[in-house]
Structures are given as structure tokens and as C-alpha cells.
């Protein structure tokens, strides 16, 4: 594989992660400004935009890199396909992309680039992240291993949109987006002190989702 073919998937992961963070944080800022006195409506607006944006990004970039945008998804994919060599570069592209997307979202709304002050690392939030991430991995890889990967843009977007409401954490389910959201002191942010707990919970959830996937689909091709 030549250098261009190696860089193209990394570019897709960086760009997708950047735009995902911009969608999540930008729609959170807009929701906060449009509905300043209604947190429930803010969450609905944020979730709706994220679900649609994520679906579009997966549809756009899935043929190029697999549209992971998430180190947990990359790790799960590597476990199933033995593509371990791309874990580190994909994760780096995803993390840098999410940080850049957070900075871009702040800039679009003339919001200061500052550490978030939103504390989230309660036991309920961490349990929620385990469940949210396990469910995300389950959706992605059961579809892939049963020949229905083409449904991922709709299914993943719908799942994340729903998980905004059925989890106490609003379903970050992604270490890269967790890191990116530290850089925005807005509705969608997370305080740096809360981020390590979220990342650990997401890794646990990813492992749980992968174990369930393998149990449910042991004979299906990856």
C-alpha cells in the first residue's frame, strides 16, 4: 500500500472526528442560546442534530476508513479483524480531530476556548457510559457481522440520539469526543477531572459490547 492509500483513511478519520465534535458542541452551544431556560429542550436540540450529523458522516466516510471516529470502535474492529497496526494512528487522528472540532465549534459561535467546568463523573454517569458504549459497539458490529453494515448510518445515528435520553451521561460513548469536549465550557462540555473516569468506563463498555457481539454472532464473517 502506497503512502497516499495509507493517509487517505487517516484523513477521513480526522475529518469525520473534527466534524462530529463540531456538530456535538456547536449544536449544544446553539441549543443553549436558543432555549436558555429549558434544559430539556436544549438536550432535544443537541441530540437531534448529533443523530443526524453522525449518520451523515458515517454515510459519507464509511467507504474510506470505516467511519470509526472513536478509539473504542477502532479497538473492537482490530480485535475482530486483527488490524492492530492502524489502532494507534486512527486513535491519534480521532483525538486530534475532536480537539480541532471543539475549537472550531467555539470559534463559529465566538465562544472562548476554555476548559469545561461541567463535572460529570458520578457513579450513575460512569455506569451510563459503560451501557452506552457497549450498546454502540453491539449495534455497529452485529450489523457488520450479519451482512447489514449498510444500515450503520441510520442505526448508529438513531442509537446515539436515543442514548442522549436513556443515559444519565447523555452518551458520550467515545474517548476521543470526551477529550474534545473538555475544550469547550458549554452545554456539551466535560470537566477535565471527569474525563478519565469516562474513558475508563467507555473502554469497559467497549469490551462488554464486543464480548456480547462475539457471543451472538460467533460464526459470521467480520
| Spatial CA neighbour of 133 closest among 94, 90, 178, 98 | 178
Does 191 score more than 60 pLDDT?
yes
Q: Where are the domains of the chain?
A: 3-216
> pLDDT digits over 70-90, tens only?
999 999 999 999 999 999 999
Q: Spell out the residues 6+ positions from residue 38 whose beta carbon is closer than 8 angstroms to its own.
A: none
The dihedral over CA atoms of 21, 37, 123, 100, expressed in degrees to the nearest 10, equals 10
**How long is the chain?**
222
Whole-prediction pTM: 0.95
> pLDDT digits over 141-181, tens only?
999 999 999 999 999 999 999 999 999 999 999 999 999 99
CA gap 184, 180 in Å, rounded: 8
Hey, what CATH topology would domain 3-216 get? Answer: Glycerol uptake facilitator protein (1.20.1080)
Give the Cβ contact number of residue 8 at 10 Å.
13
Amino acid at each position: 500500500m502506497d503512502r497516499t492509500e495509507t493517509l487517505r483513511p487517516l484523513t477521513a478519520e480526522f475529518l469525520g472526528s473534527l466534524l462530529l465534535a463540531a456538530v456535538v458542541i456547536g449544536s449544544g452551544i446553539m441549543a443553549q442560546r436558543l432555549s436558555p431556560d429549558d434544559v430539556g429542550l436544549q438536550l432535544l436540540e443537541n441530540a437531534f442534530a448529533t443523530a443526524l450529523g453522525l449518520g451523515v458522516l458515517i454515510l459519507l466516510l464509511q467507504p474510506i476508513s470505516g467511519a470509526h471516529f472513536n478509539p473504542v470502535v477502532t479497538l473492537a474492529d482490530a480485535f475482530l479483524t486483527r488490524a492492530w497496526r492502524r489502532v494507534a494512528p486512527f486513535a491519534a487522528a480521532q483525538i486530534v480531530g475532536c480537539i480541532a472540532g471543539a475549537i472550531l465549534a467555539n470559534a463559529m459561535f465566538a465562544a472562548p476556548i476554555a476548559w469545561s467546568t461541567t463535572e460529570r463523573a458520578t457513579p450513575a454517569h460512569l455506569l451510563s457510559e459503560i451501557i452506552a458504549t457497549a450498546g454502540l459497539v453491539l449495534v455497529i458490529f452485529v450489523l457488520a457481522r450479519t451482512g447489514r453494515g449498510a444500515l450503520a448510518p441510520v442505526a448508529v445515528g438513531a442509537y446515539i440520539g436515543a442514548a442522549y435520553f436513556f443515559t444519565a451521561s447523555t452518551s458520550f460513548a467515545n474517548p476521543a469526543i470526551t477529550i474534545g469536549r473538555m475544550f469547550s465550557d458549554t452545554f456539551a462540555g466535560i470537566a477535565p477531572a471527569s474525563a478519565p473516569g469516562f474513558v475508563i468506563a467507555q473502554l469497559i463498555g467497549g469490551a462488554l459490547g464486543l464480548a456480547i457481539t462475539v457471543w451472538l454472532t460467533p460464526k459470521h464473517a467480520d
